[in-house]
A and B are shown apart, each in its own frame.
Chain A
Amino acid sequence: MRFRIDKLGVVIAALLAYGAFLAPFANFRANRIVPGEPRAILDALPAGLGTALLIFIAIALVFVVLKTPTLLRLLLGLAALSVLAILIGLSASHLTPPENTYARVSPASGFWLTSFAFALLTADALARLRLSPFARVTLLAAAAAAVAALLMSGAWDGLSILKEYGSRAETFWLEAGRHVLLALGSLVAATLVGLPLGILCHRVETLRAGVLNVLNIIQTIPSIALFGLLIAPLGWIALNVPGAAAIGIRGIGVAPAFVALFLYSLLPVVANTVVGLAGVPRDANDAARGIGMTDRQRLFGVELPLAFPVILTGIRIVLVQNIGLATIAALIGGGGFGVFVFQGIGQTAMDLVLLGAVPTVALAFAAATVLDAATELSNSKPSRAA
C-alpha cells in the first residue's frame, strides 16, 4: 500500500503542529485591561482533557497530511471545530478562579491557529465535494444553529468576549439592528436607483462612460473621507429644507452613513447591470424585436431575466462590502457593530473589539454564502422540466 501526500494537508498540519504544541491556547488576565498571561493547552485545560486534545490533534495531523477520503476529512474538520469550541469554553471556567468576576480568559493564538487550520480543512473538503447550493445553505444554517446552541447553553459564558456582551446585551442587539439596517437599507436603495440607472446606461450609450466614471471616482474616495465630506451638505439640508431634520437627516449620525454606503453600492449595481444587459445574446434581442415585442416587453421578458445572474453577483458584492463598511459608520455616530470596535480600541480592551468584529465577519460570511448559492441557482442552465 502506497501513501500519498496531500499538499494543502502539509500546510494544515504545520499550522496544527505550531498552534497546538508551541503557541498558547488561552490568555488569562487578572482584569480586562492588564496584559494577559499565555497558557498552553496542558495548563489551560483540566489535566486529562489537555492530554486527550494533544493526542487527538497529533492523530489528525497524520490524517490530513495523507491523501484521505474527502468526506472523512470534512467530518474530521467539523468534529475538531466543535471540540475546540467546547474546550475553549471549558478552559475559561477552568482558568477563572471561583467567585472572581474581574478575571478574563480569552482564546489565544494557539486556539485561533488550530481553529483556522481545521476551518481550512473543512472549507477545502466542502469545495472538493462540490455541494449543491441548497446543501451549502443548509450547512450554513446548521453551523449557525450549533453556534446559537453553544451560546444559549452557557458553555462560553466564561469567555471574556461574552462577559463584555453580558454587560452590554441591550446595546448589542440595538447596534446589531442598526448595522443590518444600514447595510441592507443602503443596498435596497442602491438597487432601486442603480438598476434603472444601469438600464438607462445600457440603452443610452453616450451616458454610459460618464456615469460609470463618476461612480468609479466615488468608489476611490476613502470611506472616512466620504463620511466627512457629507457632513457639510447634509447639515445644510437639515437646516434649510423643511421637514428634513424631522425624518432624521443630520450632518452626523445615520444619514451620512446611509448616504455614503448607498453611493459606494451604486457602482457594482450599475456596472453589473450594464455588463449583464450587454451579455444578452444579440440573436435573442433581434428576434424579440422581430417578432413584435415592445421595448418594455423585451426588457422584462428577455433582457432582465438573462442578465439576472450577473446583476445578482453585483448585489452580492454590495452586500458583503456594505456589512464590512458599515462598521466605520460608528465613527460619525451612525451606530452598528463599529461602536464596540471603536470603544474597544479606545479602552485598549481587545475583547470589546472582538465583540464588534466577530459578528460583522460572521454576518458577511453568511451573506456571501447565501447570495453565492442564489447566484449559482439563477445561473445554472435550466434543464428539462419533466
Chain B
Amino acid sequence: MIEIDNITKRYGDNTVVDNVSMTIAPRTVTVIVGTSGSGKTTLMRMINRLVEPTSGAIRIDGEDNRGIPGYELRRRIGYAIQGHGLFPHRTVAENIATVPGLLGWEKSRIEAKVKELLSLFQLDPAAFGPRYPHELSGGQQQRVGVARALAAEPNILLMDEPFGALDPVIRAKAQEDLLAIQKHFGTTIVLVTHDMEEAFHLADKIAVMDKGRIVQYAAPEDMLVNPATDFVETLIGVGERPFRLLSIGTVGEAAEAGTAEGEPLAAATSQRDALSSLLWSGREALPVVGADGVPLGRVTLASLARRAARPR
C-alpha cells in the first residue's frame, strides 16, 4: 500500500505538484494520466524519491519513505522508463542483474533470476543473455527494461511512459505481457502515461492530473459514467465512451457458450479489439480461445453492444 499524504513539490515559484493525497491499494495497477506538465511524472518520482517533496509525506506499507537512504529505497522499488534506459555497455544479462548485484545477492541466485525473467518475457536466456541492448529490437529492449526493474522482486513497480516508444502492435503485446506479469507476481504498479486508451486498458484505478492537482481518482467505469470535471470528460472524449468501456474488459470475460466460424480471438484480447475484428470480418460472432488454444466459446456483436452501453 502506498499512502500519499498532502504532497507538494515546488521549483521556485512554480508549483508542480500541489497538495496531492491518494492511497494506492496493493496488487493493483494505478495509472496516472494527464497532459505534459501536469506533474504526473514528478508525483511518481517522489514515491521512490528521485524527486524530494517540498512538503507532505509518502508512506509505503505504513513506513515513511524517508526512513532509509534514497538509493536503498530505490533498490526495493522497480523502475522502468520510456526508451528503456538500458546500459549500452552491459549485456542483457548484466543489465537485468544490476539491482540484485547492488543488493549483494549470490552469483548463482542472480543467474537463476536472470534466466527466470528472460524466459518469462519470452526471450531465450542462452540467445539473449549475452547480447548487447543495441542488438535487440525496440520491443525486446522494452521487455528487458521491465525485466531489469523486476529483478529484485520488488513489491512496487513504477513505470514512466514505458510503452511510449513502441509501435501500436508491439505496444498492445507489451501491455498484455505487463498485465500477465502483474498477476504472476502480484506487483503494485504505478504507471504514468498521457495515453487515455492505455489507461483504460491497464488500470484498476485511474488518477487524472491537471496543473499539479488530482482532478479525479476513480475506477475506469466510474470515471466514464461520472466524469468529475469538463477536463476529465474532454480527456476521455465523449464520442469514445462506449469504446473506452470496451477496452476495460477482455474477450474472455465476454465469452458465452456456443461456436462460431472465423479467425479465433485470444481470451486476453480487449473487447474493443474484438469489436473491431467482428465489424471488419462482417460476422455476428467469432470463436474465443484460451492462451493454450483451447476453445472457450464465442463472442457476439450483440453481447459487446450490450457491454458498451452506459452502465447503471
Residues of A within 8 A of B (CB): 281, 283-284, 286-294, 297, 301-302, 305-306, 381-386
Contacts and interface: CB of A to CB of B under 8 A. Distances in A.
Q: Most B CB atoms within 10 A — which of A288, A290, A302, A381? A: A290
Contacts of B78: 291
Contacts of B73: 292
A384 B135 contact: yes
11 contacts: A283-B82, A284-B88, A290-B85, A291-B149, A292-B102, A293-B98, A306-B88, A306-B89, A381-B88, A382-B89, A384-B131
Contacts of B91: 385
B83 A283 contact: yes
B132 A384 contact: yes
Interface string B84-114: 1111110100000011001000000000000
The secondary-structure label for the interface of chain B is mixed
A381 B86 contact: no
Given A287-B81, A291-B148, 6 more contacts: A284-B88, A290-B79, A290-B81, A291-B74, A294-B71, A384-B135
Contacts of B244: none
Contacts, number: 76
Contacts of B85: 281, 283-284, 286-288, 290
B87 A385 contact: no
Contact of B87 (A290, A302, A381): A302
A175 B285 CA distance: 92
Interface of B: 48, 50, 71-76, 78-79, 81-89, 91, 98-99, 102, 130-132, 134-135, 145, 148-149, 158
A305 B74 contact: no
B74 A286 contact: no
B84 A283 contact: yes
Nearest to A385: B130
Nearest to A386: B130
B89 A384 contact: no
The 3 A-B pairs of least Cβ separation, nearest first, read A287-B85, A292-B75, A290-B79
A381 to B, nearest CB: 6
Given A287-B79, A306-B89, A381-B134, A292 B71 contact: yes
Nearest to B89: A305
B133 to A, nearest CB: 9
A381 B132 CA distance: 9
Contacts of B48: 290
A286 B81 contact: yes
Contacts of A305: 89
A172 B131 CA distance: 52
A283 B134 contact: no
